[in-house]
Chains A and B, each alone.
Chain A
Amino acid sequence: MRNIRLSVLFGVIGGILTFLFEGWSVAVVGILMGISLGLAISGQLKRKEPAKLALDVLPSALVSCGILLILSLLQNYVITGVIGHSPAPLEVMIPANLIGVLGGALFLLITVALHGLSEGQERIGRLVLLGLVVIAFPFVDNFTQLGWTSLIIFSLIYVLLGMGLNIVVGYAGLLDLGYAAFFAIGAYTTGILSSQQDNITLNFWLVIWIAAAVAAVAGILLGAPTLRLRGDYLAIVTLGFGEIIPVIFLNLTNVTIKEPLTCWIIPGVERLFGATSKLSCNVIANNLNLTNGDLGINPIGRPALPFIGTFTSNNTVPWFFLIILIILLAIFGINRLRDSRLGRAWMAIREDELAASQMGIDPVRTKLLAFSMGATFSGFGGAFYGAYIAGVFPGAFQFSTSIIILCAVILGGIGNIYGVIVGGLVIETADRLFLPALKDFFTNLMNHSVLPALASQKTLHDIVAQNANPILYRYLLFGLVLVIMMAVRPEGLIPNAQRRMELHEAEEAPNVAASTSVKS
């Protein structure tokens, strides 16, 4: 029953997406829907033979793909009329729907059937499946001209940021409300070191490491004053840090750097002995505009590779695979960290600092390393971001950015790296891809159907015309989603097993009993 509910939900979400993106989108949406529904369902099924499992979810496949097909047809033949678009021609509609519906069903069955294998085999199967999707995605996207890749890349940057923040908040339990500061540090370091702004133009492949290192050091600097603080107080200090850093970058427009040896140390020693200096002070930089204030740094150098050449804005494929690669390395690194002694020290500190110190864990070192490791990943993220948009602008690192990253972590499932990945993808994709498309949809709907009908009532017409823009309600919608999520599924989309147990102890208890009895 629960599976059917999920199927309806996924089918409807998929269908609504076709309303917004039209044309070929149903093919891509269908397959993504099939896989994600499969992942969601198989978590609740007991392992049995793959073929039997596939048979069991046939109704789910029928329901979800049926709904998708109906909505997609509705979109093409009814909705287009209402919003003043012309329906896609049959030579698009037929293959797109066939791929979406049949492909979606097929992938759903495959994903669920994988659950019939042993745990290790299932994991490998899922990796292969997801790997195929990820590899195919930008090419399919190019072919279907949906133009999603360039926006998904932003989501992936947020995924990386979320994974870093998850170390601080999820593993070590330190609430950080100013995480965007490290993002800013990564991006501005990249900007300063690889633009014409100050005549230093280093290679991106070098800069990205420098940016991460600078962010790591900044993590320790932020950590230091917060060590004695707990909970709420810590959050306030990180909030302050998050506000200070962007302001500092905003104001680094007139920087003079003097070399300490010739300017202070030698003259100082000389004065001590009453000598007068013939040395002149070496000024390294005079009145240097490092960050260009409000206008930001622009353009920033971009990565280049043999065969591919310099990455450009027109071809998003290399960018996409670069960020995927960074994320894969980050997953690997973070998983290793989590299972290391340091990782266990983080968990202990999160649980009870006093008890942890009695186990011989140094709380100061442990917390500083959490801030520092967390910051490292946003250093990478910032460097990639700066290079990708070829500029760094102060507006991108405000408080709201910190909050959105934090929400991605909480929404996805705090403490669980895969949850955080899903959270980052969902939130940023909704923001960058879904909302703008929704806005276009509404604009078209208004202009074509609603406003003409209201022409006689001037005030109403104007009110509707001005307010029918979902982007205006960005934060309202965002807030609503959070409130609903926290009420319905406080443990996040893909929770860490521990937290789910705590939040749903009573409901899950019988399940746990059942699954252990199956094993034994």
Chain B
Amino acid sequence: MLELKEVHTYYGNIHALKGISLRVEKGEIVTLIGSNGAGKSTTLRTIQGINRPRSGTVLLEGTALETLPPHEIARRGVAQSPEGRLIFPRMTVLENLEMGAYTRKDKTGIKDDLERVFTLFPRLKERIGQKGGTLSGGEQQMLAMARALMARPRILLLDEPSMGLSPILVELIFDTIVTINKEGTTILLVEQNALMALSIANRGYVIQTGEIILTDTAPNLKNNEMVRKSYLGIE
């Protein structure tokens, strides 16, 4: 469904992605793990069109995305729950969710999806009229994810959805990811919390200073010596 081929992305003359190639098949959860500054967020930003690859190509079901502006990419069904969340701080929870469905015109479908995200995140329903900016960090994280879901994306990019959350919430978020996936959304998941990510993903990629150094099925990665040492913190 989504494929990156030899993608090179630069910030000025910082070479952040040095030829990333990866694939996400329809219906999969694929995780991208790596240490700080490895280029995980940059990979997602490149898919979203926020950063342009200097060479290489990004394909969504065969169409090249790398020349399209971000809003066009969003309209083609790529949604992101970004790092730093990027919710609309002065809009209410409901307004934020409605913005997520901005490109959609099927009123009843939007209503159904609203119910669906409220079932996934009952906390958001309680806070429906509260300003996004006044939500707690974890609630903002939920809102960002719920808003991305409101677009009914073909592929959902999640950038560290567990960041800054309490263990219970992390659990909840990961359960939700699995639920969303079972309902048919393809997911590319970027995580620091590699153990959790690998336990729900089908496959994984390990990225180090802008390069994919390892890829395998999630269970294999979990047992990989190097992964255990560097990313799972298990000797």
Q: What residues of chain A have their CB less than 8 Å away from a CB belonging to chain B?
A: 341, 344-345, 347-348, 351-352, 354-363, 498, 501-502
Contact check, B151 vs A348: say whether CB atoms are below 8 A apart.
Answer: no
Contact check, B151 vs A359: say whether CB atoms are below 8 A apart.
Answer: yes
Contact check, B91 vs A354: say whether CB atoms are below 8 A apart.
Answer: no
Contact check, A344 vs B74: say whether CB atoms are below 8 A apart.
Answer: no
B50 at the interface (CB under 8 A from A): yes
User: Which residues of chain A come closer than 8 Å to B89, judged between CB atoms?
Assistant: 351-352
Which of B50, B100, B131 makes the CB contact (< 8 A) with A359? Answer: B100
Contact check, B91 vs A351: say whether CB atoms are below 8 A apart.
Answer: yes
- Nearest first, the 8 A-B pairs at minimum CB distance are A360-B103, A360-B74, A355-B86, A357-B70, A351-B88, A360-B75, A359-B102, A357-B71
B99 at the interface (CB under 8 A from A): yes
Bound-state CA distance A344–B96 (Å) is 10
Bound-state CA distance A347–B75 (Å) is 19
B210 at the interface (CB under 8 A from A): no
At the interface, is chain A mostly helix, strand, loop or mixed?
A: helix
Contact check, A344 vs B99: say whether CB atoms are below 8 A apart.
Answer: yes
Bound-state CA distance A356–B82 (Å) is 12
Q: List 16 interface pairs A-B (beta carbons < 8 Å), by A numbering.
A: A344-B98, A345-B102, A347-B88, A351-B90, A351-B91, A352-B86, A354-B50, A356-B99, A357-B69, A357-B71, A357-B74, A358-B74, A359-B100, A360-B151, A362-B69, A502-B90
Bound-state CA distance A394–B224 (Å) is 77
Docked complex: B65-113 residues within 8 A CB-CB of A? 69-71, 74-75, 79-80, 82, 86-91, 98-100, 102-103
Contact check, A354 vs B74: say whether CB atoms are below 8 A apart.
Answer: no
Contact check, A360 vs B86: say whether CB atoms are below 8 A apart.
Answer: no
Q: Nearest CB to that of A499 among chain B residues?
A: B90
B43 at the interface (CB under 8 A from A): no
User: Which residues of chain A come closer than 8 Å to B82, judged between CB atoms?
Assistant: 355, 358
Count A/B pairs, Cβ under 8 Å. Answer: 61
User: Which residues of chain B come closer than 8 Å to A352, judged between CB atoms?
Assistant: 86, 88-89
Bound-state CA distance A16–B31 (Å) is 72
Contact check, A344 vs B102: say whether CB atoms are below 8 A apart.
Answer: yes
Q: What residues of chain B have their CB less than 8 Å away from a CB belonging to chain A?
A: 48, 50, 69-71, 74-75, 79-80, 82, 86-91, 98-100, 102-103, 131, 147, 151
How far in angstroms is the closest Cβ of chain A from B65? 13
Contact check, A359 vs B86: say whether CB atoms are below 8 A apart.
Answer: no
What would 5 more interface pairs be, CB under 8 Å, given A344-B99, A359-B74?
A341-B102, A348-B99, A358-B82, A359-B147, A360-B74
User: Which residues of chain B come closer than 8 Å to A363, judged between CB atoms?
Assistant: 71
User: Which residues of chain B come closer than 8 Å to A341, judged between CB atoms?
Assistant: 102
Q: Nearest CB to that of A358 among chain B residues?
A: B74
Bound-state CA distance A360–B91 (Å) is 17
Bound-state CA distance A356–B90 (Å) is 13
Bound-state CA distance A344–B88 (Å) is 12
User: Which residues of chain A come closer than 8 Å to B98, judged between CB atoms?
Assistant: 344
User: Which residues of chain A come closer than 8 Å to B74, judged between CB atoms?
Assistant: 357-360
User: Which residues of chain A come closer than 8 Å to B103, judged between CB atoms?
Assistant: 359-360
User: Which residues of chain B come closer than 8 Å to A348, judged between CB atoms?
Assistant: 88, 91, 99, 102
